[in-house]
Structure 1
Amino acid sequence: MKVFHGTTEIAGQMGILSDGLKQKGFESTGYNTYHSYLGYKDNLINTSEEEIKKLKDEIIDSFDVFHFHYCTTLDKNYEDLPLIFNKQKKMIMHHWGNDVRFHEQAKENNPYVYTGDSPANEVIHERLTKITPYIKQAIVQDYEVYEYVKNYYDKVHVVPIAINLQHFKPFYPPIHKKKPLLLHAPTNPDFKGTVYIEEVINKLRENYDFDYQRIEKMSHDEVIELYEKADIIIDQILCGSYGLLSVESMALGKPVVTYIRPDLVSTFPSVLPIVNANPDTLYENVKILLEQPLLRQNLGILGRGYVEKYHDHRIITEQLINIYKNL
């Protein structure tokens, strides 16, 4: 079976999933038209919309399963979908959040959420109504995203973010370190809540001795080296769910601070070792971590175990294969 992933690489997932599929004997390639400073390249053909359009017929003939991401397909206007559909090839759409986060709906259960990166509601609806006559099933990473698309598809699968643990050796925070290092890596400061995080950091400096580093505009490989040195990683405190940085941080054995919406807590495994904080509770939660080095280390150990159980790309690949077979 030959699997196409495209055309927007989000959080390295097309490459990671392709790697897992290849390990299982499948042919899988990601075609990426979204290029950022993160520099994802594994199992990817980094290309352009124009090149994809030229290769459209060849791609449609060459692959058996089309695993699309982020509301993007081979054609900006989705004119490829009836062609693939008429050839009776399998298709599924993978939504990642900002592509389908309806603004008012997101705010119903979350007073903190930032939706400035999402298209207008009308655009999201128009895209979904163009996609779903041909693609009947979708994948989302969690139930925060699930609610936005559940009424558009016949079936929506919840499949966690995947990570290749071979690339992540845990470095648990040492309990005798006198000056802990806090890291925050905002790919989008507005979405992550950076202004609130740094207000709290400045307030904490009045009473605690620690280092703080904000990481921006660095490649993925470079930032992982910096994460390894951290004692506390603060991720996103507005969205209401956790993303790739939280997963990678837990894989590295770091305690992670992220906001999980109260109504979503029960949708995750009960052992989720994330420190749950929003702008109103961030100070107290980080204060506890600064005061308790043993807690930092224990959370790091629990986080690594959590990722091994729920985010290992080999486990996620098995879920994917089962979904593909039943499309």
Structure 2
Amino acid sequence: MSLRVLHCPTAVGGNPPALSRALSRLGAESQCVTLAPNPFGYPVDEDLSGRGWLRREFARWKLIRRALREYDVIHYNFGTTLAPLRSRLGGKRWLAPAAAIHNLLYALPFEMCDLRWAARRGKVVAVTFQGDDARVGEVARRYPIHFAHEVEPGYYTAETDRNTRRRTAAFARYADLVYALNPDLLAVLPERARFQGYCSVDVDDWQPTPRAARQPGPWRVVHAPSHRGVKGTRHVIAAVNRLREQGVPVELILIENMTHAEARRVYATADLAIDQVLAGFYGALAVELMALAVPVICYLRDDDLGCLPAAMRAELPLINATPDSLPAVLQDWLGAGNDQLSTRGRASREFVRRWHQPREIARQVLTDYEVAWAQKRATRPIRTAAVAAM
């Protein structure tokens, strides 16, 4: 029997649709359907966002009914479910009466109801946490280096921390499988949560541009801030400006307001990339650049690396830099020249092939699904009549 799998409700980072496609190649009947906007244009099977509030809410409930009737596995992403979600009020409730009404009369009674229904109907429930869907400001501020110290006031509040803890607690109760794409998230997730590498890149689909074929001129350094405060962009700009003042020929290319396809064309021209210098780990951007044999600088928090498989940790090709050391690290690597950049780029590409190959990650996830499915069937028969009545 091939399992019927639904990935929802977002395509954040391209990870959900990539995992879905890889599962399909392994024989699962897998689909990725999104309710949230997909601004970077990641390919999904169905995009139900952007239809206007009333039509989107109708589509939401239709999809919930379909999920409970037609799928064996529901794999939630970015710590959210298909049900309505309470709007964030930021403590200024008098400024947002419509949002307050939405929360009280609509979202509050139904929030995460599909998670409970799926568990009760014997579905295999999985969830992948990807970042701020699990991070708690109170915990993040304990780290000496973290974007929680630099983002705008209100990014993390007592309200957001409560909401995050409530949602992670619900998944801890009802989800059979819990994955985290960033090791720091394991500190706030249930003990059975497991680290999982990004699977958004099939290295064979990302062919590097030979360094000799690149246009002559200044060194090209790329940085793609989806949120400048979170990514530490001010430190990146300051580091590049400092090198320019010292006469180093370097050009910083900020990738913003582009589709994924547009950004990918720019990535291929880079000599070096800087991912995030505050979060403590690398993101999906770094995996894409490494697949193109572009060396990547980011901040790697030593404490978090202990959550990785030992072999993966030993093979990490990323260039570690804190905000303070970034100018010197950047200067050293640009000064090293093409040969060392090419060597590190090749190692980076092989690292992606070994640790971020979608097919291999999907193979393990499919095994997890099958084990959970078998356990459920052994302890609880499928209640077909109840499902059909939904």
TM range (shorter): over 0.9
Matched, 1:92 2:132: no
Equivalent position to 1:326, from 361, 367, 371 = 371
Match of 2:96 in 1: none
Note the alpha carbon deviations across 1:212-239, whole angstroms, 9 max, x for none. 2111100001111110000011111010
- The answer as to whether partners of 2:300 and 2:320 remain within 8 angstroms in 1 is yes
Q: Which amino acid aligns with 1:112?
A: H
CA distance in 1, matches of 2:144, 2:8: 31
Matches within 5 A, 1:56-135: 56-76=64-84, 77-114=111-148, 116=151, 120-135=160-175
CA distance in 2, matches of 1:209, 1:129: 50
Note the alpha carbon deviations across 1:15-37, whole angstroms, 9 max, x for none. 10011011111111111122143
CA distance in 2, matches of 1:137, 1:59: 17
Return 5+ residue gaps in structure 2 as ranges.
Answer: 50-55, 85-110, 373-390
Equivalent position to 1:238, from 278, 284, 287 = 278
Deviation at 1:171, TM superposition (A): 2.6
Return 5+ residue gaps in structure 1 as ranges.
Answer: none
Note the alpha carbon deviations across 1:164-222, whole angstroms, 9 max, x for none. 22320023544995522111111111110111110111111012012221111000011
What secondary structure, in the 3-state scheme, does the structure 2 residue paired with 1:12 have? helix
Matches within 5 A, 1:283-298: 283-293=327-337, 294-298=339-343
Matched, 1:302 2:347: yes
What secondary structure, in the 3-state scheme, does the structure 2 residue paired with 1:182 have? strand
Equivalent position to 1:278, from 314, 317, 322 = 322
Match of 1:182 in 2: 221
Deviation at 1:118, TM superposition (A): 5.5
Matches within 5 A, 1:2-17: 2-17=4-19
Q: Count residues in correspondence.
A: 323
Match of 2:243 in 1: 204
CA distance in 2, matches of 1:8, 1:36: 8
Note the alpha carbon deviations across 1:28-54, whole angstroms, 9 max, x for none. 11111221431112x331113511212
What secondary structure, in the 3-state scheme, does the structure 2 residue paired with 1:230 have? coil
Matches within 5 A, 1:148-187: 148-151=188-191, 155-162=192-199, 163-174=201-212, 179-187=218-226
Structure 1 vs Structure 2: percent identity of aligned residues?
26
Structure-2-length-normalised TM-score = 0.79
Q: CA RMSD in A?
A: 1.9
Deviation at 1:93, TM superposition (A): 1.2
- The answer as to whether partners of 2:275 and 2:286 remain within 8 angstroms in 1 is yes
CA distance in 2, matches of 1:111, 1:55: 41
- The answer as to whether partners of 1:98 and 1:118 remain within 8 angstroms in 2 is no
More helix by share: 2
Matches within 5 A, 1:50-61: 50=57, 51-61=59-69
**Cα 1:105–1:297 shift into 2, 3 Å:** same
- Which structure would you say has the larger Rg? 2
Match of 2:46 in 1: 45
**Cα 1:37–1:84 shift into 2, 3 Å:** closer
Deviation at 1:135, TM superposition (A): 1.5
